[in-house]
């Protein structure tokens, strides 16, 4: 028995060591290295502004990020933050221009130019020549059509669901024909439509393989992904825009902000993206680091549910009263830890937007709030619930502050925290009538797209995936006009009218412009600037000796 027990202990130890080693080997690996021999071109990389100092080749950029990628190489199912892992490998026809917030314009990547005809029902793209996928497959109109067909078959793109036909006009020209005008087609092109190698996809069994094996045309090739640990990419020497400076890019999946900061301080990472705000401010103030704030990333707000007259918020006066009752300045000062990087919002359009109205907004005024409630017959107040996405962080703090401010005007609000699953359900089916929902809105630089998405008047019953549940007849008419607009002038006019109407109707309480953040070691030269959260792929990034 004694021998048996000794042997058992030794066996367990050995097995554990062997199993431990297996954990690391359970990775997904890249396909065969590219066989392309096309020399690097001298084309200026289209994505970004060049760095200011003299660039240097070499090094692995280690980027901390808090969450795993879910899908790496199957674009029809890419969503959310998971997509930024793809930027290194997969490319789009066009991306937002560096000055997109002002110009509302795009910049060609896999397409060099495009035009729409036939009232935005027909879109023609002229593709970049001389581009190859990492497996050597040539990029051309057939490859573009194959990718579009992949989206259509998956049925996950609202735009492609409406496609009438896709025509290959010549080797480098493709035409998309839609049944209805697609004024927001370019937003989808710039944000969601990535291109993968048809050859690699079909040779390796399709979707299940592609999910974790991206093969694109980007500046870096996929090497391996170990869920919960890291995702690694290496330089694609034949990249069409020139050889990238970095030898490799490695994303490290670190969920805890304190640990992430410690790793940066210990020199175990070079960049920390999607950094927690508190840690970002702390590191920004430290020697050896600098922070970047991506403005206009996530407007935070409070959304009253007011689908029908059973909701107390159906009355516009009540919605206005809520706005007046909330001291945004105080909330933002507290949540932003006094940082000027978080700006108070009183309206959805940001300064510079054509719909922005200087000085407009319902500013903190408890007396007006009480008067409006009295006018609505609710002088004695009422009870409601505030739903918040997370118990921790800014949303939880915001809920508590809003709760105390509403109490000042006799509104008794209880706070309920919702799970991620419940959050998705809320967005699809709405939240209970007569309640408030605190959440950020994923923003896009193209304001017309945001207006169409957020002020949509769905069919009677269920609002689908929008935060504003208020559907006044005026707003619905303006929304329909915006969707039907087919020239830049009419789109602009319709957008401004709809945006003003939405603000006048108090569809939601815009609270603050919450930035996206990243921290860099000071030896990292990066083009991660305001728009970059949607496009950054480390192509022009380089590191000094350190």
Partner 1 sequence: MITYIIKRLIQAVFILLLLTFIVYGVMRFVPGDPLLMYLGATDIQALSPEALDQARQELGLDQGILVQYFKWLGNVFQGDWGKSFHFKADVLLLISQRMPVTIYLGVLAFFFSSTIGISLGIIAAVRRGKWADTVATLAANTAITIPIFWLGIIMILIFGVSLGWLPIAGFTSPFDDFWLSTKKLIMPVICLMIGSMGSNARLTRTSMLEVIRQDYIRTAWSKGLKERVIILKHALKNSLIPVITVMGLQVRFIFGGAVLIEQVFAIPGMGRLLVDATFGKDYMVVQGCVLVIGIIVVLTNLIVDISYGWLDPRVRYD
Q: Which residues bind partner 1 (CB under 8 A)?
A: 1-2, 4-5, 8, 12-13, 16-17, 19-26, 68, 70-71, 77-80, 155-158, 161, 192, 211-212, 226-230, 252-256, 258-259, 262-263, 265-266, 268, 418-425, 427-428, 464-465
**Rounded distance between C-alpha atoms, residue 451 and residue 164, angstroms:** 25
Phi, psi dihedral angles at 53 (to 5 degrees): -90, 175
Give the bridge partners for 240, in sequence order.
Answer: none
Coil vs helix vs strand at 55: coil
Q: How far is the CB of 26 from partner 1 (least distance, A)?
A: 4
Residue 6 vs 32, nearer CB to partner 1: 6
- Comparing CB distances to partner 1, the nearer of 162 and 375 is 162
- The sign of the dihedral angle between the CA atoms of 85, 87, 88, 90 is positive
**Nearest approach, Cβ of residue 534 and partner 1 (Å):** 15
Angle between helices 393-407 and 316-325 (to 10 degrees): 110
Closest CA to 129 of 85, 172, 174: 172
Minimum distance from residue 19 beta carbon to partner 1 (Å): 3
Rounded least distance, CB 82 to partner 1, Å: 9
Q: Which is nearer to partner 1, 213 or 317 (CB)?
A: 213
Q: Which is nearer to partner 1, 247 or 416 (CB)?
A: 416
Task: State in angstroms the smallest separation of the CB of 523 from partner 1.
Answer: 17
In the complex, what is the shortest distance from the CB of residue 72 to partner 1, in angstroms, rounded to a whole number?
10
In angstroms, rounded to a whole number, what is the distance separating the alpha carbons of residues 313 and 318? 6
Nearer to partner 1, 21 or 42 (CB): 21
Q: What are phi and psi of 67, to 5 degrees?
A: -135, 155
Please, which residue, 34 or 69, has the CB nearer to partner 1? 69
Distance CA 542, CA 538 (A): 8
Closest of 244, 206, 224, 205 to residue 31, by C-alpha: 224
In the complex, the smallest distance separating the C-beta of residue 269 from partner 1, rounded to whole angstroms, is: 9
CB of 62 to partner 1, least distance (A): 11
- Tell me which residue has tokens 């950094």: 275
Q: How far is the CB of 255 from partner 1 (least distance, A)?
A: 6
Q: Please tell me whether residue 411 adopts helix, strand or coil conformation.
A: strand
3-state helix, strand, coil in the chain (%, to 5): 35, 20, 45
Closer to partner 1 by CB, 187 or 241: give it. Answer: 187
Query: Minimal CA–CA distance to 301: which of 59, 47, 514?
Result: 514
Of 146 and 251, nearer to partner 1 (C-beta) is 251
Q: How far is CA 253 from the centre of its chain?
A: 18
Select from 163, 61, 48, 150 the least CA-distant residue to 109: 48
For partner 1, give the closer residue by CB, 324 or 449: 449
Report in angstroms how near the CB of residue 78 gets to partner 1 at its nearest: 7
Q: How far is CA 15 from CA 21, 23, 211, in A?
A: 10, 12, 31
Nearest-angstrom CA–CA distance, 385 and 393: 19
Interstrand relation of 289-304 and 382-388 (parallel, antiparallel or unpaired): unpaired
**Distance from C-alpha of 381 to C-alpha of 236, rounded to nearest angstrom:** 63
Of the pair 372, 452, the CB lying nearest partner 1 is at 452
């Amino acid at each position: 028995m004694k021998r048996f027990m000794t042997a058992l202990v030794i066996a367990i130890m050995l097995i554990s060591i062997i199993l431990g080693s297996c954990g690391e080997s359970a990775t997904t690996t890249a396909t065969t290295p590219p066989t392309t021999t096309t020399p690097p071109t001298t084309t200026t990389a289209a994505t970004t502004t060049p760095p200011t100092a003299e660039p240097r080749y070499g090094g692995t950029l280690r980027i901390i990020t808090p969450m795993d990628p879910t899908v790496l190489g199957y674009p029809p199912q890419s969503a959310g933050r998971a997509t930024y892992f793809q930027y290194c490998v997969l490319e789009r026809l066009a991306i937002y221009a560096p000055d997109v917030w002002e110009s509302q314009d795009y910049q060609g990547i896999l397409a060099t130019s495009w035009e729409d005809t036939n009232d935005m029902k027909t879109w023609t793209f002229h593709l970049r020549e001389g581009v190859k996928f990492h497996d050597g497959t040539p990029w051309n109109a057939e490859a573009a059509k194959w990718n579009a067909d992949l989206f259509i078959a998956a049925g996950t793109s609202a735009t492609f669901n409406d496609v009438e036909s896709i025509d290959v006009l010549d080797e480098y020209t493709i035409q998309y024909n839609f049944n209805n005008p697609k004024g927001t087609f370019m937003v989808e092109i710039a944000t969601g439509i990535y291109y993968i190698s048809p050859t690699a996809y079909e040779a390796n069994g399709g979707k299940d393989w592609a999910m974790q094996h991206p093969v694109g045309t980007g500046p870096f090739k996929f090497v391996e992904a170990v869920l919960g640990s890291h995702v690694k990419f290496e330089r694609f020497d034949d990249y069409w825009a020139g050889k990238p400076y970095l030898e490799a890019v490695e994303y490290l999946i670190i969920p805890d902000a304190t640990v992430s900061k410690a790793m940066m301080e210990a020199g175990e990472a070079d960049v920390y993206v999607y950094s927690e705000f508190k840690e970002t401010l702390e590191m920004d103030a430290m020697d050896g680091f600098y922070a970047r704030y991506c403005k206009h990333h996530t407007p935070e707000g409070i959304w009253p549910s007011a689908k029908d007259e059973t909701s107390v918020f159906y009355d516009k006066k009540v919605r206005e009263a809520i706005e007046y009752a909330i001291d945004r300045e105080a909330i933002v000062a507290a949540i932003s830890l006094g940082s000027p990087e978080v700006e108070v919002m009183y309206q959805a359009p940001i300064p510079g937007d054509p719909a922005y109205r200087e000085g407009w907004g319902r500013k903190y005024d408890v007396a007006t709030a009480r008067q409006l409630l009295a006018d609505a017959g609710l002088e004695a107040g009422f009870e409601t619930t505030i739903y918040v996405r997370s118990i921790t962080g800014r949303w939880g703090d915001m809920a508590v502050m809003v709760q105390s401010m509403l109490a000042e005007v006799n509104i008794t609000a209880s706070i309920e925290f919702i799970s991620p699953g419940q959050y998705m359900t809320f967005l699809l089916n709405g939240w209970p009538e007569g309640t408030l929902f605190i959440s950020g809105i994923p923003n896009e630089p193209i304001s017309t797209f945001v207006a169409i998405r957020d002020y949509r008047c769905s069919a009677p019953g269920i609002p689908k995936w929008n935060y504003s549940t208020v559907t006044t007849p005026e707003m619905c008419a303006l929304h329909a006009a915006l969707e039907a607009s087919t020239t830049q002038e009419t789109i602009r006019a319709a957008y401004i009218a709809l945006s003003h109407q939405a603000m006048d109707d108090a569809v939601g309480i815009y609270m603050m412009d919450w930035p996206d953040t990243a921290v860099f070691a000071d030896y990292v030269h990066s083009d991660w600037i305001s728009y970059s959260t949607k496009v950054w792929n480390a192509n022009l990034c380089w590191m000094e000796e350190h």
